[in-house]
Amino acid sequence: MKTKYDVVVIGFGKAGKTLAAKLEKNGKNVALIEKDANMYGGTCINVGCIPSKRLITDALNSPKSEFSVKAEYYRNAIEEKRKLTAALRKANYDKLAQAGVDIVDGMASFINENRIGVQTNDGIMDIEAEQFVINTGSIPVIPKIDGVTESQKVYVAETIMDLEELPRSLTIVGGGYIGLEFASMYANFGSEVTIIQRGDIFLPKEDEDISASIREVLEAKGVQIITGAKTTRIQDGLLYYDANGESHVLKGDAILLATGRRPNTEGLGCENAGISLTARGAIETDEHLRTNVKHIWAAGDVCGNLQFTYISLDDSRIILDDMNKTGSRTTENRGAFSYSVFIDPPFSRVGMSEKEAKDAQIEYHVASLPTDMIPKAKVLRKTDGMLKAIIADDGTILGAVLFCAESPEIINLIKLAMDHQLKAEVIRDFIFTHPTISEGLNDLFSI
């Protein structure tokens, strides 16, 4: 194996693997460094999007039976999830290896701005490169709670998806989007779920009508939501918290920490290469995702920006453009940002919320539609939720929220319209196929 390359990519995530394959195809000599053979392909396919969405899908089909039957179904779902991630991991490795990329198993650390040392099972490799791309992702934030590291019943998102025994009761610390996805999933599998969050307001980034609708749906599944609570101690499955001036305790079979993620720069030796970090420990980059060191770029979660696989993919396009000296793509021209939260039904959003439009002092009006007004929702027996759009007085679409079945697919239509400056009337008059959830946009944008 070589010790000098045109480009070295550190981390097998979406941006890293995409760049490595394209650069090798373009005639560059490329090495990709990955410290964990169980993470070939990155977080998404191994411990993130794909396994969680497979389990979320399986949970929707969980048998309506006694707990023992549910538990056996859950065990089978975990095993099938493992088979899926193993197959994807192998496919990702094979794709890069067959493309000619040198894949090095080991922990990379910068020696200086032109060299890294890679700790492998056979010792330390000294590798030199003309260019580097850092794609080391993020790691869970573990809050400083007494007993949190000693308990054998505390999990993070990655580890709970390997829990083979379905917990009868699950406590989730954190009321953010990841916590909601697992709450909905485990409730559908048959667990009794409690969400506990420190903040007083449930989903504070969303409009009140949307957060109220989401809360109503979760509580209808039996999910208990406790706000304004400070977790003080964890002892095995017991979680102690203070709320309203009183102390309380929750007993559960498992505790999930859904308290956010932070950029993974530990052991990377950024200081040795002179790479600047932000106050939160992320790698500081410009609109082309360059670091302050001209031949080093960073992509994905390690930049401390939006933690989504599709953003990481777009990061690879931005970096490739910059390497090719075109510079046409930047973080400033991505267009409207959209995201989905895969609860049941899924919640998707793009652009501004109503309160953001109000704070920006934009003249706007609100269009809303209950999901049960859409014929396809009745066909699917998925009538929970609502659709909402924020429209400027000149017809410009400022944002939309779709809390309904199939929203992760449909939200992309609205992003496309927003990115190309299409007015609300275009969607209002568009001819959708029938019956579909998307045809509900005709009625939403006619209000």
Annotated catalytic residues are 434
Quick one: which of 388, 362, 381, 268 has its CA closest to 8?
A: 268
Taken in order 11, 12, 16, 22, the sign of the CA dihedral is positive
**Contact (Cβ atoms closer than 8 angstroms) between residue 341 and residue 347:** yes
Termini Cα distance of the chain: 64
Instruction: Provide the token pair at 271.
Output: 């200081």
Using CA atoms, how far residue 23 sits from 26, 29, 328, in Å, is 5, 8, 18
The helix (H) or strand (E) run that includes residue 132 is: strand 123-134
Taken in order 182, 185, 189, 191, the sign of the CA dihedral is positive
Q: What is the 3-class SS of 304-343, one letter each residue?
A: CCCCCHHHHHHHHHHHHHHHCCCCCCCHHHCCCCEEEECC
Question: Which residue's structure tokens are 């052991």?
Answer: 267
Question: Which residue's structure tokens are 């208990």?
Answer: 224
Strands 115-120 and 123-134: antiparallel
Rounded Cα gap, residues 235 and 252, in angstroms: 11
Helix residue spans in 190-229 (DSSP H): 208-220
Taken in order 258, 195, 207, 385, the sign of the CA dihedral is positive
DSSP state of 268: S
Rounded to 5 degrees, what angle do the CA atoms 92, 98, 101 make? 80
Report residue 213: phi and psi, to 5°. Answer: -65, -40
CA torsion 418-204-385-407 (nearest 10°) is 40
